[in-house]
């Protein structure tokens, strides 16, 4: 694989091909050869992650799948039971006064067959009494014969009489109870005799009447009950000797029929509302989960590591669909367990699918809402608001079937119907209503009775709802068109799923994210969105040309905008190194693996209007980047480092310019670049409830690292940053430094070729920092690494090239030595002498090193600064200091202690001072040095240090802020440390 773009930069035939081949080869290194396969791998990885999180957030998962459904079913059951007790007295026996004529049997309708009298026991004596009763009771039932019928058996309990029956012997009183319970309104009277032989012979009997609905009305059965008992009494007296007989009678109601035998009123009418509430738990959890992930930038982090947008949504959708499925099973299962007729009398799978479709349509709607919300609190508030609205809607619309079906009234405006189609809970309410009218039954206005439903079978999905089920009044039925078949509610819920998912994907692109990224509203018309690139790929030369042309246009526009305005700052000219770097970046013949050209980011104050005073975070940045070379970006807070990193990593869109990585354009081929990229963002983006090992597995999966390599990779990387021992601990238990190390390691997964490290060692202790440094140092081979830091030591040690940014512009570039030499103040020497010799020493030093500046003179402690111009004299001075006995306490700088001093001294890389002092040819021999003026006599000790990178940095920042130095807090402690080391030296020397 070519390591440079040398051959590509000619406009020759190999130009573009080599570029692409290079990029392709890079991608193939990571097995990113097939987008679809990668997508599937990512989906699997994300599903595993979601499952881990759902297990860790078990309270929310249990609430969604178990507690919610069971709680609301239980509440329904309580209401149902309460309602049963109320309903017991009123509903289930007929109200005969509402009928055209009272039937002889008080049957279901006047013409329905029924049983006139049930009696027990079937003995000759009882039959004798009843025969007498019949003979004396003819006038009550002129139309019916009260003949004895065939005895009923227990198996007859469940059957309705098919013909009108006279007097039916039954096995016992319990039979009368059970039969009338199972078959309400089929029996007029029951009589149970219990004859105790005398004397006196005791005739005890109990009569059963249908006494329901007698509370507040004139009881039409009171008379017949009295006439029956009188007739029975007379019949007994007829068949026995009245002087030796005792009669006692007790009266009883037929058993009160529990409403569920006929109807499930509460569940039918309140079901849509309660199941909506249960589903809202899922809805609000989804809102919270997805928005929190966005708010904490977890999603961005995964996207920067190559996660595809479609995979992200698909994984959440599938995970939630699974939860919804479990929730649907629990709902239907417990609905059956609670013995709700709508559940027990409907096809199990119809119920299950209906609840599942309702759940996934609500989840899809929640997804759509998450695309418009940035804060999880707002998301929850929106969820609660929708909850209240939905609750009101469901309670109003589905409180009874008539209102529920009113939407099919021809007088309901079509627009209302079409709007309702897009509300998942309306479609669910309709489906549930359809099932309950079939399963539970309906109220018949004519007879004022509830008619049990036939049950909801699979086939009923396809049939239109019978009109008598939907509208109780005949006249209204004519106004209603046919109510659609229940299956239509399924179709509508499926449509809702598709509709909201499409909206989700669309809004996700066009609504600006936290970084201000958004696509054009018509982005889907651009073929490149679908990965189709019809335009010829530009060669590097063409690409550079277009960048230059764009900048010219941009500058012209800016000039026009700022004409006649003196409040717009005028930019300084580039430093010569910066200018040279710009030329290199714009030179197509220069070989490099990556280049940044005229990169710009403007944060607009107003979304709609550009202003010359908009915040320019990065301005016309030009850089070249090479493999194996780490570029350290330095800059004060707000200099534009993170914005630069964010643009290069695709987190933020640039507002001008572009970057080319291995021939791939940052603006148009970011997805491909991401496959070769690793990012350690400024703030740790970790899943609180995942362990270090799970993080590595997640990101390695997203990066398509071969499965078998992941365990070894995990061990190796976690050991390298000393996290192996805590690999099983959840990340929220880590210290700041541990989190940083984990973030760092994540950025190196998938063997990335380009790595962005944004302040990777912030918050780490010195030992771990050094571990991370050596890890980066080893890892940078063959990779492009850009690192931002506020640690000068870090930049000095790691940076092969160091850039200093201020106000979004590049101010200086070069290696550490170059910058120190160019911008540094030279060297400092501190020495100790007797106060009496101070003046002599001063004159000697000033003679040896012309131009040196005395910075401090107190009690024999001298501090001199030698500007870069006096570099040549320093060896002579050192010779003088070293040529004689340096005296006790000599504090010579050595490579080792210099490197330990960090930014306070040379880094130990290749100090020009050391080079000079070790090269004999540069050292002038001391001349005219006599014993009186030898350093051994005069100087007790000395220390020497080169200008630190920090001083260079401070100088550059000061220069970039001519109106006043803007505080740079990080520098302070290091500076103080330096001063204290100088004073320590003085103290040692003087013994004070």
Ligand X SMILES: Nc1ncnc2c1ncn2[C@@H]1O[C@H](COP(=O)(O)OP(=O)(O)OP(=O)(O)O)[C@@H](O)[C@H]1O
> Which residues contribute to the site for ligand X (CB under 6 A)?
516, 603, 615, 617, 635, 637-643, 682
Query: How many other CB atoms are found less than 10 A from the CB of residue 412?
Result: 12
In DSSP notation, 772-816 reads HHHHHHHHTTTSEEEEE-S-HHHHHHH-SEEEEEETTEEEEEE-H
| Closest distance of CB 616 from ligand X, Å | 8
319: phi > 0 → left, psi -120 to 50 → alpha, else beta; which?
alpha
CA dihedral 785, 790, 795, 799 (to 10 degrees): 20
Cβ 659 to ligand X shortest distance, Å: 16
Q: Which is nearer to ligand X, 517 or 990 (CB)?
A: 517
Q: What is the closest distance, in whole angstroms, from the C-beta atom of residue 644 to ligand X in the complex? A: 7
Select from 678, 713, 706 the least CA-distant residue to 692.
Answer: 713
**Residue placing its CB nearer to ligand X in the complex, 387 or 968:** 968
Which CB atom, from 481 or from 516, has the smaller least distance to ligand X? Answer: 516
Least Cβ distance, residue 610 to ligand X (angstroms): 14
Which sign does the torsion angle of CA 11, 13, 18, 20 carry? Answer: positive
* Of 635 and 989, CB closest to ligand X: 635
Give the Cα separation of 923 and 913 in Å (integer).
12
Q: Which residues are paired to 187 by β-bridges?
A: 115
* CB-nearer residue toward ligand X: 131 or 966: 966
With H, G, I as helix, E, B as strand and everything else as coil, classify residue 595: strand
Q: Which is nearer to ligand X, 269 or 643 (CB)?
A: 643
Q: For residues 551 and 641, which CB has a smaller minimum distance to ligand X in the complex?
A: 641
In angstroms, what is the minimal distance from the CB of 639 to ligand X?
A: 4
Please, which residue, 493 or 621, has the CB nearer to ligand X?
621
CB of 646 to ligand X, least distance (A): 7
Q: Which is nearer to ligand X, 593 or 788 (CB)?
A: 788
Angle formed at CA 963 by CA 958 and CA 966, multiple of 5 degrees: 50
SS3 256: coil
In the bound state with ligand X, the residue whose beta carbon lies nearer, of 582 and 601, is 601
Nearest residue (CB) to ligand X, 107 versus 640: 640
To ligand X, the closest distance from the beta carbon of 633 in angstroms equals: 8
CB of 75 to ligand X, least distance (A): 47
Residue 497 or residue 639: which is nearer to ligand X going by CB?
639
Q: How many CA atoms lie within 13 A of 448 on its CB side?
A: 11
Residue 514 or 709 with smaller CB distance to ligand X? 514
| CA pair distance 708, 184, nearest whole angstrom | 71
Q: Are 926 and 880 in contact (CB under 8 A)?
A: yes
Instruction: Tell me whether residue 808 or residue 908 sits nearer to ligand X (CB atom).
Output: 808
What is the chain's Cα-based Rg? 46
Go through 217-255 and write b for each residue having 16 or more CB atoms within 10 A of its CB, e for each that does not: eeeebeebbeebbebbbebbeebbeeeebebebeeeebb
Beta pairing, strands 677-680 & 754-758 = parallel
Q: What does the buried/exposed string (b/e) look like for 756-789 if buried means 16 or more CB atoms within 10 Å of the residue's CB?
A: bbbbbbbebeeebbebbbebbeebbeebbbbbbb
Residue 121, preceding bond cis, omega within 30 degrees?
yes
- Tell me whether residue 402 or residue 968 sits nearer to ligand X (CB atom): 968
HEC secondary structure over 818-852: HHHHHHCCCEEEEEEECHHHHHHHHHHHHHHCCCC
Residue 615 Cβ vs ligand X, minimum distance, rounded to whole Å: 5
**Residue written as token pair 């070249």:** 624
d(CA 523, CA 512): 14
How far is it, in rounded angstroms, from Cα 56 to Cα 285?
14
Q: Least distance to ligand X from the beta carbon of 642, Å?
A: 3
Q: Which is nearer to ligand X, 702 or 806 (CB)?
A: 806
Pairing of strands 115-120, 165-169: parallel
What is the nearest approach in angstroms of ligand X to the Cβ of residue 515? 6
CB 299 to ligand X: min, Å: 17
> CB 758 → ligand X: shortest distance, Å?
7
Q: Which long-range contacts (CB under 8 A, 24 or more apart) does 481-488 make?
A: 481/408, 481/410, 482/408, 483/405, 483/408, 484/408, 485/461, 486/350, 486/430, 486/431, 486/434, 486/435, 486/456, 486/460, 486/461, 487/461, 487/462
Alpha-carbon distance values, 386 to 250, 380, 495 (Å): 59, 10, 20
Query: Which structure tokens are listed for 465?
Result: 């709802």
Tell me how far the alpha carbon of residue 895 is from its chain's centroid: 52
Instruction: Compute the least distance from the CB of residue 359 to ligand X, in Å.
Output: 37
How many of the other CB atoms lie within 10 Å of CB of 628? Answer: 13
Query: In this chain, which residue has its C-beta nearest to ligand X?
Result: 642
- DSSP helix/strand/coil, 213: coil
205 bridge partner residues: 193, 249
The C-alpha atoms of residue 563 and residue 694 are separated, in whole angstroms, by 56
Looking at the Cβ atoms of 366 and 680, the one nearer to ligand X is 680
In the complex, minimum distance from the CB of residue 863 to ligand X, in angstroms, rounded to a whole number: 32
645-681 burial: b if 16+ Cβ within 10 Å, else e: bbbbbbbbbbbbbbbbbbbbbbeebbbbbbbbbbbbb
Shortest spacing between CB 638 and ligand X, in angstroms: 4
Q: How far is the CB of 643 from ligand X (least distance, A)?
A: 3
Decide whether 571 or 839 has the Cβ nearer to ligand X. Answer: 571
| Closest CB 685 distance from ligand X, rounded Å | 15
Cis peptide before 347 (omega within 30 of 0): no
């Amino acid at each position: 694989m070519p390591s440079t773009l040398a051959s590509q930069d000619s406009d020759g035939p190999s130009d573009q091909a080599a570029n692409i081949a290079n990029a392709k080869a890079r991608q193939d290194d990571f097995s990113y050869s097939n987008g679809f396969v990668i997508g599937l791998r990512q989906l699997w990885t994300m599903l595993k992650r979601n499952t881990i999180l759902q297990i860790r957030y078990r309270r929310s998962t249990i609430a969604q799948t178990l507690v919610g459904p069971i709680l609301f079913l239980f509440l329904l059951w309580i209401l149902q039971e309460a309602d049963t007790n109320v309903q017991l007295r009123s509903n289930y026996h007929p109200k005969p006064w509402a009928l055209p004529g009272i039937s002889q049997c008080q049957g279901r309708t006047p013409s329905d067959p029924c049983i006139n009298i049930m009696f027990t026991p079937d003995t000759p004596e009882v039959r004798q009494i009843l025969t007498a009763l019949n003979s004396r009771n003819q006038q009550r039932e002129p139309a019916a014969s009260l003949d004895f019928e065939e005895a009923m058996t227990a198996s007859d309990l469940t059957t309705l009489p098919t013909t009108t029956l006279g007097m039916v012997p039954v096995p016992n009183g319990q039979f009368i109870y059970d039969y009338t319970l199972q078959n309400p309104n089929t029996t007029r009277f029951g009589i149970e005799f219990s004859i105790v032989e005398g004397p006196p012979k005791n005739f005890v009997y109990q009569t059963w009447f249908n006494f329901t609905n007698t509370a507040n009305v004139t009881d039409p059965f009171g008379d017949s009950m009295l006439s029956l008992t009188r007739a029975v009494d007379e019949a007994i007296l007829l068949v026995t000797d009245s002087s030796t007989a005792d009669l006692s009678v007790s009266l009883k109601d037929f058993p009160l029929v529990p409403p569920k035998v006929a109807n499930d009123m509460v569940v039918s009418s309140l079901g849509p509302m309660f199941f909506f509430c249960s589903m809202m738990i899922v809805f609000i959890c989804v809102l919270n989960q997805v928005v929190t992930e966005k708010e904490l930038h977890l999603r961005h982090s995964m996207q920067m590591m190559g996660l595809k947008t479609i995979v992200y949504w698909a994984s959440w959708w599938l995970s939630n669909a699974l939860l919804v499925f479990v929730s649907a099973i629990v709902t239907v299962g417990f609905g059956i367990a609670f013995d709700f007729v709508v559940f027990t009398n409907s096809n199990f799978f119809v119920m299950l699918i209906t609840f599942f479709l309702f759940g996934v349509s609500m989840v899809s709607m929640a997804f759509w809402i998450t695309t418009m919300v940035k804060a999880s609190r707002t998301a929850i508030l929106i969820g609660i608001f929708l909850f209240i609205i939905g609750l009101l809607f469901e309670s109003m619309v589905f409180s009874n079937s008539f209102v529920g079906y009113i939407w099919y009234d021809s007088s309901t405006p079509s627009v209302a119907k079409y709007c309702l189609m897009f509300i998942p809970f309306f479609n669910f309410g309709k489906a549930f209503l359809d099932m309950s009218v079939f399963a539970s039954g309906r109220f018949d206005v004519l007879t004022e009775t509830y008619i049990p439903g036939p049950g909801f079978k699979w086939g009923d999905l396809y049939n239109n709802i019978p009109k008598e089920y939907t509208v109780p009044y005949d006249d209204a039925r004519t106004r209603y068109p046919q109510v659609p078949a229940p299956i239509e509610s399924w179709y509508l819920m499926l449509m809702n799923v598709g509709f909201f998912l499409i909206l989700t994907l669309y809004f996700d692109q066009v609504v600006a994210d936290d970084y201000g990224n958004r696509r054009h509203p018509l982005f889907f018309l651009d073929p490149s969105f679908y990965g189709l690139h019809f335009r010829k790929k530009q060669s590097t030369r063409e690409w550079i040309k277009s960048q230059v042309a764009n900048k010219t246009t941009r500058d012209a526009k800016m000039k026009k905008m700022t004409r006649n305005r003196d409040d717009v700052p005028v930019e300084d000219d580039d430093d010569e190194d910066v200018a040279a770097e710009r030329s290199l970046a714009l030179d197509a013949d220069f070989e490099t693996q990556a280049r940044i050209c005229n990169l710009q980011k403007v944060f607009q104050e107003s979304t709609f209007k550009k202003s010359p005073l908009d915040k320019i975070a990065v301005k016309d940045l030009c850089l070249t980047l090479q493999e194996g070379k780490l570029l350290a970006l330095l800059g004060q807070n707000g200099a534009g480092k993170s914005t630069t990193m964010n643009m290069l990593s695709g987190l933020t869109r640039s507002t001008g310019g572009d970057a080319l990585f291995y021939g791939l354009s940052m603006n148009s081929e970011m997805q491909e670049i991401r496959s070769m990229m690793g990012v350690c963002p400024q703030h740790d983006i970790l899943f609180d409830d995942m362990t270090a090992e799970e993080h590595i597995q997640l990101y390695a999966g997203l990066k398509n690292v071969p499965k078998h390599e992941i365990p070894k990779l995990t061990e190796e990387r976690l050991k390298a940053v000393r996290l192996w021992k805590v690999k099983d601990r959840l990340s929220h238990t880590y210290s700041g430094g541990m989190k940083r190390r984990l973030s760092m390691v994540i950025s190196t997964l998938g063997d990335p070729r380009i790595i962005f490290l944004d302040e990777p060692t912030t918050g780490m202790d010195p030992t771990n920092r050094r571990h991370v440094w050596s890890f980066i140092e080893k890892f940078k081979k063959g990779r492009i690494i850009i690192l931002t830091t506020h640690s000068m030591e870090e930049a000095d040690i790691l940076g092969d090239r160091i850039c200093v940014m201020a106000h979004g512009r590049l101010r200086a570039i070069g290696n550490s030595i170059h910058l120190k030499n160019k911008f540094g103040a030279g060297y400092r020497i501190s020495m100790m002498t007797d106060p009496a010799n101070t003046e002599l020493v001063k004159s000697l030093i000033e003679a040896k090193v012309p131009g040196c500046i005395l910075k401090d003179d107190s009690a024999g402690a001298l501090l001199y600064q030698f500007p870069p111009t006096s570099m040549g004299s320093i060896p002579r001075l050192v010779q003088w200091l070293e040529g004689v006995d340096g005296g006790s306490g000599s504090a010579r700088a050595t490579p080792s202690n210099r490197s330990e001093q960090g930014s306070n001294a040379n880094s130990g890389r290749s100090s020009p001072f050391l080079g000079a002092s070790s090269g004999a040819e540069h050292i002038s021999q001391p001349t005219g040095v006599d014993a009186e003026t030898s350093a051994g006599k005069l100087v007790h000790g000395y220390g020497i240090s080169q200008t630190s990178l920090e001083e260079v940095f401070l100088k550059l920042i000061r220069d970039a802020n001519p109106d006043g130095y803007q505080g740079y807090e990080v520098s302070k402690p290091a500076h103080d440390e330096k001063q204290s080391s100088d004073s320590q030296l003085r103290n040692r020397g003087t013994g004070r």
